[in-house]
Amino acid sequence: MTTEKIRQPYGFWHSIIGARRMAQRNRLDDVQFAGDGLVWLENRGKQGQLVYQPDHGARRDVLFEYSARGGVGYGGGEFTGNERSLFFVHQGRQIMRYDFDTAVVRAVTPAWGAYSTPLSSPDGRWLVFVHEDGDHGALGLVEADGGWPIRLDHSADFYMQPVWSPDGNRLAWVEWENPNMPWDATRLVLANLGGEPPHVVERFVVAGGRSEGVFTQPCFSPDGRQLAYLAAQGEWDDLMLFDTESGERRVVYAARGYHLSTPAWVQGQRSLAWLPDGKRMLVIRNHAGMAELCEVDVESGSVRVIPTAPFTWLRQLSVHPHSGELAVLASSPRLAERILRWEGARWREIACTDAWLLPEEWFADPQAVECRLPDGERIYGWFYPPQNPKAEGQGLPPFIVHVHGGPTSAAVLDFPREAAYFTSRGYAWLEVNHRGSSGYGRTYQQALNGNWGEADVADTVNLARFVARQGQADEQRMVVMGGSAGGFTVLNCLVRYPGVFKAGIALYPVADLIALARETHRFERYYTDRLIAPFPEAAALYRKRSPIEQLNQMRDALAIFQGEEDKAVPPAQNQALVERLRGLGVPHLFRLYPGEGHGFRAPETIEDFYQQTERFLQDYVLFD
């Protein structure tokens, strides 16, 4: 039975996706095999809750007075587990232990510095972890029953993805130095351990260097002889094997046209795993925002795609070490992220965010967009038309152009909660993957180096105009929106292209590049050296590309949303920006949220953000 649609003005369609639903969503962040079943992490507002689903029992929450939250960089690596226990990072500051048989939580480390990725040794006696204290990074070790941590290695600036060999006598990890980011250049290190407690007897670099390729996700074969890892040395990625006895290195799978990982913005990312027979591996490959799961034969290098339709984005691959069962987080533009478990013949859905179990007709089908510039450069994106099963508009819809953060990130074909909020109200939505975005080859990703604040801005304007002039949206009612680095692009669009967009919406945007270079957190302290030029030598260029220095050219309305405790983009930047907007008489809205950082978690904050944004769009776009 078909429901007749009601004709209503675009932007005023009634939607079941309200601000409160947006605020009440739970976010799935990880899934792993542990205990006698699966454990996953749900972010419920500011609570990082671990949920345990035994194979033969009811699921249950694990944490009550605690919150699982990684503390290194942007987080990640919140927990790991074995058959007896879970080890998790509480609020980023302390490693805790939960035992399945007693349900008791106890401290493993003191609350000191920032922790991530606790990983139990094969015999269960020790935990290795990533640690940061002020300006120093290290790999640490502590007894699994608790004690005072010791440093295993502190020769590098940053560490990621430590892994034990099956016999517990070796460790492998990824490390890198300033001014690189983990997608610029890393080293893969293998260390022999000895003594009691274990310490590094000998270490050597398996692959990489200060400016040589990106090497990620080491994992030992079940017999411990082979060390697998992912290498980004050319345009795409390779799956590599290192023989720990002979020292031979070989390419198992050269993934031409695909990436085998995504930029490591957080700790604990997993797209690679061994199957228990040691003859096959699983890897998630991706291209242009779409992902698929592949099985790779280690000897022949042959690749078999494992069907995961209708899901188009996959992450956090986990394999049971004995049964070979798989678990993964999966989503699509019409299906909210959920946990899938492969049981040998079929996928079974284990969990989903209940607030988003909505009929698929509320979600738009994205259309791939590709625009060629006069100089031959290509720009990519995804366009979402207005979609509401109960409403239709007349003419062309207002148009929100969204710029992702990073800027070394990407808009992918996962579940578009934010887009759905607006498309279900009658807005068209465009995700811009400007130069510098990942997923389109290494050359495209590196094309923003030295050009941040210029290429991303031009690409955003050009792609928006291209889509509008195809007759898909109203060019006279365009809005540019983005957060963090995307917010920087928003501000620059308004100051460099006044009048192109009716309004801008910027979440915790970078407004002052000099302040960013001086004050941002350790992880990104030298990021702008590559994106713009070395600081302070290029201070004049930083000033030229800072939106706060060009505000006298801005005339379009701007909404800014900022967390009071933001460490990546300290709020003083945008408080100063707002003071100047007041003096210039530029229409603006400014919301400063107490207790929030670089990204919003509290339900009341998220609800207010969507309510304020909707009113702002009505005032400056729909009613103007």
pLDDT tens profile 116-155: 999 999 999 999 999 999 889 999 999 999 999 999 999 9
**Rounded distance, CA 457 to CA 114, Å?**
35
**Region(s) of the chain under CATH 2.120.10.30:** 26-154
pLDDT tens profile 521-533: 999 999 999 999 9
**Rounded distance, CA 293 to CA 307, Å?**
7
**Region(s) of the chain under CATH 3.40.50.1820:** 8-18+358-622
Report pLDDT for 496.
Answer: 97
Whether 1 shows a pLDDT value over 50: the answer reads no
**DSSP code at position 376:** S
Q: Compute φ and ψ for 85, nearest 5 degrees.
A: -145, 160
Q: Which residues are bridge partners to 339 per DSSP? A: 329, 351
**Average pLDDT of 48-74?**
95
**Average pLDDT of 554-568?**
96
**Rounded distance, CA 129 to CA 117, Å?**
5
Q: Which tokens in the block code for residue 550? A: 């060009």
Structural domain 8-18+358-622, CATH architecture:
3-Layer(aba) Sandwich (3.40)
Contact 251, 271 (CB under 8 A): no
Percent of the chain at pLDDT > 90 equals: 93
Taking alpha carbons only, the member of 283, 290, 297, 224 closest to residue 255 is 283
Report pLDDT for 486.
Answer: 98
Taking alpha carbons only, the member of 98, 137, 144 closest to residue 118 is 144
What's the chain's average pLDDT?
Answer: 95
Radius of gyration (C-alpha) of the chain in whole angstroms: 24
Exposed e or buried b per residue across 357-371, where buried means at least 16 C-beta atoms within 10 angstroms of its C-beta: ebeeebbbebeebeb
Report pLDDT for 25.
Answer: 74
**Average pLDDT of 97-118?**
97
DSSP states along 183-233: TT--EEEEEEEETTTTEEEEEEEEEE-SSS-EEEEEEE-TTSSEEEEEEE-
Structural domain 26-154, CATH architecture:
6 Propeller (2.120)
CB atoms within 10 A of CB 476: 12
- Reported pTM: 0.96
Confidence of residue 374 (pLDDT cuts 50, 70, 90): confident
**Rounded distance, CA 143 to CA 129, Å?**
11
Contact 196, 182 (CB under 8 A): no
**Rounded distance, CA 400 to CA 112, Å?**
44
Q: Which tokens in the block code for residue 537? A: 């030598």
pLDDT tens profile 3-46: 789 999 999 999 999 999 999 878 999 999 999 999 999 999 88
pLDDT tens profile 300-348: 999 999 999 999 999 999 999 999 999 999 999 999 999 999 977 789 9
Exposed e or buried b per residue across 190-219, where buried means at least 16 C-beta atoms within 10 angstroms of its C-beta: bbebeeeebebeebeebbbeeeebbbbbbb
**Rounded distance, CA 127 to CA 141, Å?**
6
**Rounded distance, CA 506 to CA 482, Å?**
5
